[in-house]
Amino acid sequence: MDSEPTNAPLPSLPVPDAPMPESALAAAGHKPRRAPPAGLVAAWLLAIVAIVISMLVWHRVDGMQHQLARQSADAGDHAVEARALARQAEESVRDTAAKIAVLDSKIDDVSGYRAQLEDLVQTVTRARDENLAVDLDAALRVAQDQTQLTGSVEPLLAALHIAERRLGRSADPRLTPVAHAVARDLERVKAASIPDIAGLLARIDQLLRQVDELPVANDVGGAAQKPQPDRRDAASSPPPQQQQLPPPESGWLRWWHALRAEAFGLLRVSRVERPEASMLSPQQAFFVRENFKLRLQSARLGLLARQYEAARADLAAAQVTLERWFDPSARRTQAATGLLQQIQGLTKAAELPRVQDTLMALGSAIAVTTGMSSAGR
């Protein structure tokens, strides 16, 4: 224990009395005392100084003890706090370890889920690629049937464009030959020559409207002999005001010209190359026109049914009827003949394109994917 410094008074040292005179000492019968030696005095002084120094040292040591006691108390407090912090850190470590264990278990679960998801994605991808090949095969077959029925390559072109886009988005290397086959078939379908059915039908309708105005071979009317004025000729001719008027004729002269024109109209001399055409009666001419119309209608139906050979046969029969029973020198007959020849030239058998390369490539891809799926199962 720490000892408190005592403030007790130092022991009083005997103070030597003042020296008495020797005469007094002698009278008193005392012997005179001798003065203390200097060494003794010095020893006493040294002792005093040592005592003072000891007291100072003791006081300093006591202060150091107090300081050490305070530092020890502070160190104890710090140690208590450190122990509390250590306990907290240990608890935090235990909590962290528990959380890490939970996270590890969750990571394991996530890894399992990821593996299952990858397997599912691969399965779905294989199924999608297999379904893609099957869908494209069905779509192309339907489009090919539509092309055969309608005679237009538009359904087949649309199906090939869709197949090209879907194959471009697919990453399956097994469908690469299918993409190449689709590109080749697409170029072949674009280059296919298909007759313009709509234009042919419009020309046939135009010819049907002109049948009733065609002159037959034995028509003696002025309309059959005199060509009809063309609109371009009428447009290029000067107006009546600018034309030179004939000189006025007398009444007898006008009557003579009219009689001569009527006589010339009653009598016509011509070379008859087809006697049967010259013997047509009006009723027979009616049936000839109707027969000609029926031939054109039959050709029209043949074009609509994509029966090009039958349509060409009907058009050839209509050409024979036109040349045999109608007047070939009339302008209307010549125009109808030219129009009919145009229709015959444009009516040709069309080889509708087929996509056999693409269908074969799709069949091979379907067989490969089906075999791999069976092996995986």
Structural domain count, the chain: 2
Give the span between the Cα atoms of 117 and 141, in whole angstroms.
35
Average pLDDT score over the chain: 77
pTM: 0.43
304 and 344 in a single domain? The answer is yes
151 and 291 in a single domain? The answer is no
Evaluate if residue 5 carries a pLDDT over 60: no
Instruction: Calculate what percentage of the chain has a pLDDT beyond 90.
Output: 12
Give the span between the Cα atoms of 97 and 356, in whole angstroms.
67
For the four alpha carbons of 54, 56, 60 and 66, in that order, the dihedral sign comes to positive
Q: Give pLDDT, residue 172.
A: 76
142 and 184 in a single domain? The answer is yes
Q: Give pLDDT, residue 137.
A: 87
188 and 199 in a single domain? The answer is no
155 and 209 in a single domain? The answer is no
122 and 161 in a single domain? The answer is yes
Question: Please, where are the H alpha helices in the chain?
Answer: 22-28, 38-150, 154-169, 176-190, 197-210, 222-225, 231-236, 251-266, 275-278, 282-304, 308-325, 331-346, 356-376
Note the pLDDT tens digit of each residue in 171-201.
778 888 888 888 988 888 887 777 778 888 8
Choose the final residue of a domain: 173, 193, 213. Answer: 193
Task: Give me the amino acid identity at 138.
Answer: A
Instruction: Calculate what percentage of the chain has a pLDDT beyond 70.
Output: 72
Region at 32 (left for phi over 0; alpha for psi -120 to 50; beta for the rest): beta
Please indicate, yes or no, if residue 65 is contained in any of the structural domains.
no
Please indicate, yes or no, if residue 180 is contained in any of the structural domains.
yes
179 and 202 in a single domain? The answer is no
Please indicate, yes or no, if residue 367 is contained in any of the structural domains.
no
pLDDT confidence tier of residue 230, bands split at 50, 70 and 90: very low
Q: Average pLDDT in the 77-93 region?
A: 88
Q: Average pLDDT in the 209-225 region?
A: 70
Evaluate if residue 239 carries a pLDDT over 50: no
Please indicate, yes or no, if residue 77 is contained in any of the structural domains.
no
Please indicate, yes or no, if residue 145 is contained in any of the structural domains.
yes
201 and 176 in a single domain? The answer is no
Give the span between the Cα atoms of 94 and 85, in whole angstroms.
14
Q: CB-side exposure of 46: number of CA atoms within 13 Å?
A: 6
Q: Give pLDDT, residue 295.
A: 93
308 and 209 in a single domain? The answer is yes
Domain of 128, in residue numbers: 111-193
Note the pLDDT tens digit of each residue in 265-316.
665 665 655 666 666 777 888 898 999 999 999 999 988 887 888 888 999 9
Q: Average pLDDT in the 319-339 region?
A: 89
137 and 207 in a single domain? The answer is no
Please indicate, yes or no, if residue 60 is contained in any of the structural domains.
no
Q: Average pLDDT in the 223-245 region?
A: 42
User: Which 8-state DSSP code applies to residue 228?
Assistant: P
Region at 29 (left for phi over 0; alpha for psi -120 to 50; beta for the rest): left
Please indicate, yes or no, if residue 377 is contained in any of the structural domains.
no
Evaluate if residue 112 carries a pLDDT over 50: yes
176 and 311 in a single domain? The answer is no
Tell the residue number behind the tokens 């050490």, with chain if given. 68
**Would you say how long the chain is, in residues?**
377
288 and 318 in a single domain? The answer is yes
Evaluate if residue 234 carries a pLDDT over 50: no
88 CB neighbour count, 10 Å cutoff: 10
Please indicate, yes or no, if residue 316 is contained in any of the structural domains.
yes
CA-to-CA separations, 239 to 69, 148, 228, 244, 273, in angstroms, rounded: 143, 57, 18, 10, 41
Q: Average pLDDT in the 90-103 region?
A: 90
